[in-house]
Structure 1
Amino acid sequence: MPPRPLVFITGASSGIGQALALRYHRDGYRLALVARRTADIQAWAQAGGLGADDFRIYGADVSRPDDIVAAGAACIAEQGVPHVVIANAGISVGMDTAERSDLDVMAQTFATNNLGMAATFHPFIASMVQRGSGTLVGIGSVAGIRGLPGHGAYCASKAATISYCESLRGELRASGVRVVTICPGYIDTPLTRQNRYAMPFLMQPGDFADKAHAAIAAGASYRVIPWQMGVVAKLLRALPNAWFDRLLAGRPRKHRRGAAEGGAGRG
């Protein structure tokens, strides 16, 4: 009897990552779960009644390429080559370019959200190509579609995520390996609860996970969830710059580091 399919998920200790892990578990997948806070994953798995054969935990800081590459190699050695890899881990912290310390915030954001994503995919690509199948999922954000004041690091990193996944999709098109970009809107996680502005179409993590799972299974190349935020993002993208700037004038900004910390999840 062949082993159950395997999904590898980063940022699995809370929020979207945890919701996706539960959704894939319910679908019969074995789980390879990655986070810095491994104790949180262990507690969640025990509370949910997951058996020893259902999951493995890999401790890694995705902003350190050697960490996440080692976690991927350990997954292959212990559980095999995943069928689905979801690069979900990310941080979202406000920034002010006039502040020197916020340049470090931007560097950390790109190290986690962008380099970390590429390093997450890296260990699996050769084996997936050799097998002729597999799905690499990049978690972007609607914030990557248009820049928001005070969100320079996060918006730029998610715009880069969308472009990176598009490039990778083209590179792997003939290999049988799919690349899926999922762009969440506002999801109700500990991270978004810190926001100081309205969050239209706020979605529960479980509902998001259901829709993301369906999009990934269908092999969608790009999906905004919920769809209403996709409409809003397209409308904002179509606005002339002067109108867009006027619309966002006076909008509260995301907390900078020190006022509130970003974590794994969507902002």
Structure 2
Amino acid sequence: MNPSAAPLVFITGASSGIGQALAARFARAGYRLALVARRTAELQAWAEAQGLGSEHCRVYGADVAQVESIVAAGQACLAEQGLPEVVIANAGISVGMDTGERDDLEVLSRTFATNNVGMAATFHPFVRAMQARGAGALVGIASVAAIRGLPGHGAYCGSKAAVVSYCESLRGELRGSGVSVVTLVPGYVDTPLTRENRYPMPFLMTPEAFADRAFDAIAGRASYRVIPWQMGVVAKLLRLLPNALFDRLLQGRPRKHRAGEGR
């Protein structure tokens, strides 16, 4: 296949974890890659190690928490590689917070800037062009942490709940346009983010296993998919628990660590 004729996927947060695993999975499926990260040298080295030349993969430096930065990366992709078939807003951060600590208000602000405003800014450069083409997929990476609030996890849980609602709203706005909005809800995936957790993580998956299932969900244009499915069952049960019982269940559970705290 002529590389320029291959479909294109745009992925943020591609330098490690889920983002890098998704990049590898889409590359195996024959996609060209537009990969975004702050650590461009590290990402470029990974692409070269995979044998991905410039005709198959380009790396864009951007900080998704800075709107102009990520919008510029999207515009550069359009100019250099064309309009993607799939855009995956994967970049995100997870830091514990304590509302009683003044510095942690900045943690909350930074988390929402990255996980929510950054997602909308990732999609922004491509929406109108996808609508004009009548096809495409915008993929938001949420988390099962969106289902219920966890101690010390207010910034992350709140931001991921917002991802679910935002993607649902966007899906309604784009209904009938040919552009799909896919909300992926990972359970626990073995990444640098989750390795800092100091509580049990049931059904822990490798990034590669997640990427395989995510690829299938995106290809099938699923509107909402919890991965793995077992966490979907757990999440629904947790949502049904009365508040008093849920609070008792979490009593004594270790809090998400704050910035600078040990594990």
Do both share a fold (TM > 0.5)?
yes
Task: Name the TM tier (shorter chain).
Answer: over 0.9
Distance (whole Å) between structure 2 residues aligned to residue 207 and residue 201 of structure 1: 12
Distance (whole Å) between structure 2 residues aligned to residue 218 and residue 260 of structure 1: 41
Distance (whole Å) between structure 2 residues aligned to residue 7 and residue 162 of structure 1: 21
Distance (whole Å) between structure 2 residues aligned to residue 43 and residue 143 of structure 1: 32
- Other-structure match for 1:259: 261
- Other-structure match for 2:93: 91
- Is the 8 Å Cα contact of residues 93 and 193 (structure 2) preserved in structure 1? no
Q: CA RMSD in A?
A: 1.0
**Given residue 238 of structure 1, which amino acid in structure 2 is its aligned partner?**
L
Equivalent of 1:210 in 207, 212, 216 = 212
Q: How does 1:191-210 map to 2 (within 5 A)?
A: 191-210=193-212
- Higher relative contact order, structure no. (Cα contacts within 8 Å, ≥ 6 residues apart): 1
State the secondary structure of the residue aligned to 2:9: strand
**Given residue 64 of structure 2, which amino acid in structure 1 is its aligned partner?**
V
**Given residue 193 of structure 1, which amino acid in structure 2 is its aligned partner?**
R
Q: How does 1:119-134 map to 2 (within 5 A)?
A: 119-134=121-136
- Other-structure match for 1:157: 159
- Other-structure match for 1:143: 145
Q: TM-score, normalised by structure 1?
A: 0.96
State the secondary structure of the residue aligned to 2:5: coil
1:231, distance to aligned residue in structure 2 (A): 0.5
1:126, distance to aligned residue in structure 2 (A): 0.4
**Given residue 38 of structure 1, which amino acid in structure 2 is its aligned partner?**
T
Equivalent of 2:46 in 27, 41, 44 = 44
1:52, distance to aligned residue in structure 2 (A): 2.1
Distance (whole Å) between structure 2 residues aligned to residue 190 and residue 132 of structure 1: 37
1:47, distance to aligned residue in structure 2 (A): 1.4
Distance (whole Å) between structure 2 residues aligned to residue 42 and residue 248 of structure 1: 42
Distance (whole Å) between structure 2 residues aligned to residue 65 and residue 52 of structure 1: 26
Distance (whole Å) between structure 2 residues aligned to residue 52 and residue 69 of structure 1: 21
State the secondary structure of the residue aligned to 2:176: helix
**Given residue 204 of structure 2, which amino acid in structure 1 is its aligned partner?**
L
Distance (whole Å) between structure 2 residues aligned to residue 117 and residue 22 of structure 1: 21
1:260, distance to aligned residue in structure 2 (A): 5.8
Residue-by-residue CA offset, 1:56-87 (whole Å, 9 max, x unaligned): 00000000000000000000000000000000
**Given residue 132 of structure 2, which amino acid in structure 1 is its aligned partner?**
Q
**Given residue 172 of structure 1, which amino acid in structure 2 is its aligned partner?**
L
Aligned residue-pair number: 261
Percentage identity across paired residues of the two chains: 74
Residue-by-residue CA offset, 1:128-161 (whole Å, 9 max, x unaligned): 0000000000000000011111100000000000
State the secondary structure of the residue aligned to 1:206: helix
- Other-structure match for 1:265: none
Distance (whole Å) between structure 1 residues aligned to residue 107 and residue 75 of structure 2: 29
Residue-by-residue CA offset, 1:112-140 (whole Å, 9 max, x unaligned): 00000000000000000000000000000
**Given residue 134 of structure 1, which amino acid in structure 2 is its aligned partner?**
G
State the secondary structure of the residue aligned to 1:175: coil
Structure 2 residue 187 is the aligned partner of structure 1 residue 185: yes
- Other-structure match for 1:58: 60
1:175, distance to aligned residue in structure 2 (A): 0.5
Distance (whole Å) between structure 2 residues aligned to residue 150 and residue 142 of structure 1: 16
1:255, distance to aligned residue in structure 2 (A): 1.1
Unaligned runs of 5+ in 2: none
**Given residue 214 of structure 2, which amino acid in structure 1 is its aligned partner?**
A
